[in-house]
């Protein structure tokens, strides 16, 4: 048997956390048990980082020599008497549950801006083993399994390890209820990559998702900024409608090495959380969002809006996507702002007030690209969707339409859009040229002809498929040709008989 410490990093981390999670298998609430485990992991990372920084032997070097970091949990302050090692040392004594809660409370009190109310909202107390008589023993095992070499973070010297975030995501996905309407990865990985690539966040950019369930798009944008531009000073901001989703997103971002984030509860159409000290809306360089596909709003609030966001029109009560888009436009940096937003396909072609809003957005030259996404791309919903790309300042007044369904991998039932297709879409968006059957660069005259209808099918016409003829068709054509040949042979035979007759020879 391979020892835990000898396993490859990513495998070892997931295996260690999975083993620790098994201790809480009989918890009253499976999600709360996973959140309890991740809260302890957060405490473990922060404790190991401080232990390495204060190491008297200098084994891990001075923090002054540690390289630039993506610190996340490593930046949390931990009181000396609340560190994980103290929990581990006292694990055989009674009262593990109270000691764990006390340590997590002290961690929260030392980091109020980052962790305030997060653990309370996640209901960690529902993650205890059900049997009170066996609880101390189970929690003792839990603390022991979190102390294996694979989960020793002291040698990181304040750096972040990507396998931690990957393992955390696997655990969160397993904890989701089977019939959850909105899974953790509510945006497929290839779409996250594409949206981040189209936005191309750089150093010092502010990045916002006003509907950031789980933070997948924020994480994708941060990865792009760090890997492509070496950015470390970008900021992640967002709002999440549900309190539990807000708390889980904060915890997830910290465990992914992101400490430069500010996630607020609520929705921007009801709660103006992302505002400046003077009450005006914050401005962002990059905004990415995949809001709920059933997004209602209250037009009456829009008419009293102090920020004057809905200048292009008031969409219907039951379709709030163009209201959210106008909020994002108002919050867009006037010089470098860009938006990528997934919307239901009906947003592109419905008539009435929505058509008027689309025409005004076109007149303002804000829409850069419309990508029709493959059907059933998002888990749990059959809604047809599209990706809108907008910019505050553009170099031309044409709109590029792309039918991404033509790039759907062949023969794969589960993968609707893979990384290769996402890279092809990025290239098409960068080139901005018409490609028969795939992309259309629509000039203002063509857009005016369609009266603001942005349905991709109006502009991109797939090539006629080259269908192979069926066996019945070929047999029918053969019979028809044989009949025509028989007729010609009869005519020729009659002509030959006529020429060979005595009357024909004497004539």
Q: Which of 147, 175, 203 is the last residue of a domain?
A: 175
Res. 179 pLDDT band, cuts 50 70 90: low
| CA–CA–CA angle 251, 255, 259 (5° rounding) | 80
What rounded mean pLDDT belongs to the chain? 87
pLDDT at 497: 73
pLDDT at 5: 36
**C-alpha separations of 363 from 20, 186, 394, 452 in Å:** 57, 33, 13, 10
**C-alpha separations of 400 from 369, 385, 429, 448, 459 in Å:** 5, 16, 7, 14, 9
160 or 312: which carries more pLDDT confidence?
Answer: 312
Q: Do residues 367 and 414 share a domain?
A: yes
Mean pLDDT of 177-182: 56
Position 372 in a domain: yes
Q: Do residues 124 and 209 share a domain?
A: no
Q: Do residues 193 and 171 share a domain?
A: no
Q: Can you spell out the DSSP letters for 402-461?
A: EEGGGGSPTT-SS-SS-HHHHHHHHHHHHH---BTTTEEEE-HHHHHHTTT---GGGT--
Position 464 in a domain: no
Q: Which of 435, 458, 481 is the last residue of a domain?
A: 458
DSSP H or E segment with residue 363: helix 353-363
Per mean pLDDT, which of 164-178, 248-262, 390-404 is the most reliable? 390-404
Work out whether strand 261-265 and strand 439-442 pair parallel, antiparallel, or are unpaired. Answer: unpaired
Closest of 180, 161, 177 to residue 44, by C-alpha: 161
Position 103 in a domain: yes
Contact 339, 389 (CB under 8 A): yes
Q: How far apart are the first and last CA of the chain?
A: 108
Position 494 in a domain: no
Position 435 in a domain: yes
Question: DSSP character for 464?
Answer: P
Q: Do residues 200 and 143 share a domain?
A: no
161 or 216: which carries more pLDDT confidence?
Answer: 216
Q: Which two tokens stand for residue 411?
A: 């023969």
Q: Do residues 243 and 296 share a domain?
A: yes
pLDDT at 259: 75
Contact 365, 394 (CB under 8 A): yes
Sign of CA dihedral 238, 255, 101, 33: positive
* Percent residues over pLDDT 70 in the chain: 87
pLDDT at 460: 94
Contact 134, 39 (CB under 8 A): no
Q: How far apart are CA 9 and CA 286, in angstroms?
A: 33
DSSP H or E segment with residue 401: strand 399-403
Q: In this model, does residue 6 exceed pLDDT 50?
A: no
Q: In this model, does residue 177 exceed pLDDT 70?
A: no
Task: Print the domain residue range for 44.
Answer: 4-175
pLDDT at 378: 85
448 or 275: which carries more pLDDT confidence?
Answer: 448
Closest of 342, 344, 398, 346 to residue 367, by C-alpha: 398
Q: In this model, does residue 464 exceed pLDDT 50?
A: no
Burial of residue 72 (CB within 10 Å: 0-12, 13-18, 19+) is buried
Helices (H), 204-343: 216-229, 243-255, 299-303, 321-330
pLDDT at 69: 58
DSSP H or E segment with residue 391: strand 385-391
pLDDT at 469: 53
**C-alpha separations of 173 from 63, 142, 221 in Å:** 35, 20, 21
16-20, 26-30, 105-109, 402-406: least confident range: 26-30
Contact 39, 119 (CB under 8 A): yes
Position 495 in a domain: no
Q: In this model, does residue 2 exceed pLDDT 60?
A: no
Mean pLDDT of 444-468: 82
Q: How far apart are CA 135 and CA 24, in angstroms?
A: 9
Q: Do residues 232 and 157 share a domain?
A: no
Q: Do residues 100 and 194 share a domain?
A: no
Q: Do residues 73 and 157 share a domain?
A: yes
Q: In this model, does residue 44 exceed pLDDT 80?
A: yes
Q: Do residues 359 and 436 share a domain?
A: yes
Q: What is the pLDDT of residues 101-133, one digit of tens each?
A: 999 999 999 999 889 999 999 999 899 988 888
Q: Which two tokens stand for residue 235?
A: 């900021």
Q: The domain that contains 274 carries what CATH number?
A: 3.40.50.150
Q: How far apart are CA 77 and CA 60, in angstroms?
A: 18
Position 215 in a domain: yes
pLDDT at 75: 80
Instruction: State pTM to two decimals.
Output: 0.85
Angle between helices 189-199 and 419-431 (to 10 degrees): 20
Q: Do residues 231 and 359 share a domain?
A: yes
Mean pLDDT of 196-208: 96
276 or 430: which carries more pLDDT confidence?
Answer: 430
Residues contacting residue 421 through CB under 8 Å, at least 6 positions apart: 190, 404, 407, 408, 409
Q: Do residues 124 and 214 share a domain?
A: no
Domain count, the chain: 2
**C-alpha separations of 495 from 42, 358, 488, 499 in Å:** 99, 72, 11, 6
Q: Do residues 35 and 128 share a domain?
A: yes
Q: In this model, does residue 490 exceed pLDDT 90?
A: no
Q: In this model, does residue 413 exceed pLDDT 80?
A: no
Q: How far apart are CA 347 and CA 386, in angstroms?
A: 9
Q: Which two tokens stand for residue 236?
A: 């992640």
Position 50 in a domain: yes
Q: In this model, does residue 300 exceed pLDDT 50?
A: yes
Contact 223, 420 (CB under 8 A): no
CA 12 to chain centre: 26
Contact 172, 216 (CB under 8 A): no
Q: What is the pLDDT of residues 318-370, one digit of tens each?
A: 999 999 999 999 999 999 999 999 999 999 999 999 999 999 999 999 999 99
Q: In this model, does residue 230 exceed pLDDT 90?
A: no
């Amino acid at each position: 048997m391979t020892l835990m410490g000898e396993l490859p990093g990513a495998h070892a981390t997931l295996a260690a956390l999975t083993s620790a999670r098994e201790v809480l298998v009989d918890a009253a609430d499976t999600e709360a048990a996973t959140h309890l485990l991740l809260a302890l992991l957060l405490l473990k990372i922060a404790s190991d980082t401080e232990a390495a920084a204060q190491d008297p032997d200098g084994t891990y070097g001075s923090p002054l020599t540690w390289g630039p970091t993506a610190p996340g949990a490593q930046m949390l302050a931990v009181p000396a008497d609340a560190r994980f090692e103290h929990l581990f040392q006292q694990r055989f004594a009674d009262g593990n549950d109270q000691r764990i809660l006390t340590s997590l409370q002290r961690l929260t009190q030392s980091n109020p801006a980052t962790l305030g109310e997060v653990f309370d909202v996640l209901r960690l107390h529902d993650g205890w083993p059900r049997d009170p008589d066996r609880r101390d023993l189970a929690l003792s095992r839990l603390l022991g399994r979190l102390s294996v070499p694979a989960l020793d973070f002291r040698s990181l010297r304040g750096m972040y390890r990507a396998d931690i975030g990957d393992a955390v995501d696997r655990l969160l996905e397993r904890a989701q209820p089977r019939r959850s309407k909105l899974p953790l990865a509510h945006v497929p990985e290839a779409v996250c990559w594409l949206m981040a690539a189209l936005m191309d966040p750089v150093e010092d950019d502010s990045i916002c998702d006003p509907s950031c369930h789980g933070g997948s798009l924020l994480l994708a944008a941060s990865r792009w900024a760090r890997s492509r531009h070496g950015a470390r000073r970008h900021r992640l901001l967002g709002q999440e409608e549900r309190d539990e989703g807000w708390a889980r997103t904060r915890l997830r971002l910290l465990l992914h090495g992101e400490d430069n984030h500010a996630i607020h509860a609520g929705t921007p159409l009801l709660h103006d959380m992302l505002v400046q000290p003077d009450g005006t809306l914050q401005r962002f360089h990059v905004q990415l969002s995949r809001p709920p596909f059933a997004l209602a709003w209250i037009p009456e609030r829009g008419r009293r809006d102090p920020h004057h966001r809905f200048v292009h029109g008031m969409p219907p009560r039951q379709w709030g996507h163009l209201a959210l888009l106008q909020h994002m436009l108002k919050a867009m940096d006037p010089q470098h702002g860009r938006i990528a937003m997934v919307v239901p396909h009906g947003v592109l072609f419905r008539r009435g007030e929505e058509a008027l809003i689309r025409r005004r957005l076109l007149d303002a030259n804000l829409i850069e690209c419309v990508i029709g996404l493959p059907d059933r791309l998002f888990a749990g919903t059959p809604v047809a969707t599209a990706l809108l790309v907008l910019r505050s300042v553009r170099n031309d007044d044409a709109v590029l339409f792309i039918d991404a369904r033509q790039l759907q991998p062949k023969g794969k039932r589960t993968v609707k859009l893979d990384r290769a297709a996402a890279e092809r879409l990025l290239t098409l968006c960068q080139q901005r040229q018409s490609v028969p059957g795939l992309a259309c660069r629509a000039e203002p005259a063509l857009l005016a002809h369609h009266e603001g209808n942005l349905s991709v099918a109006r502009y991109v016409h797939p090539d006629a498929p080259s269908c192979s003829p069926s066996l019945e068709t070929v047999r029918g054509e053969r019979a028809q040709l044989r009949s025509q040949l028989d007729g010609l042979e009869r005519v020729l035979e009659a002509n030959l008989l006529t020429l060979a007759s005595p009357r024909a020879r004497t004539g």
